[in-house]
Amino acid sequence: MTVEREGAVLFKGNPATLLGPEIKVGDAAPDFQVVDNGLQQVTLATDAGKVRLIAVVPSLDTPVCDTMTRQFNQQAANLPDSVAVYTISVDLPFAQKRWCGNAGIDKVQTLSDYQERSFGLNYGLLLKNLKLLARAVYIIDQNDKVSYVEICSEVTAEPDYTAALEAVKKLV
């Protein structure tokens, strides 16, 4: 049975229910199965041994998600190759690829959770009524431990970019 966390976040000021467990700093990072823009499977093990900055957004075609992904793309240029930067949404891979091309995104890898919503369910971010992902940032260390979590209390608000990037820098 899937855990339901009623009122865990707000969506446009209204309480929203998240499906899945609350993941905390120090937890083992749950596995997931998403696809890249070429429909190739990506899991937690895909970039094993790297620090992973995972930005989670409802849809790249919205202003805050657009801004967030561009911000992390710009910052990713200053990070070493030992860091993988992902943006995960339920947008179709084809839409993600189009959006990245139009936005000039080349440092962030966009991944789609559209098939089974395994990332959303395993990380407790699936918005029950909308079937979109809530906005969040996770940092997973080289040993697959969660070292940073920010679930934006209001889905339409931006995360704390500085805090996320500082958490990455402590690991590399």
Q: Which residues are catalytic?
A: 65
Do residues 110 and 30 touch, judged by C-beta distance below 8 A?
Answer: no
Do residues 127 and 17 touch, judged by C-beta distance below 8 A?
Answer: yes
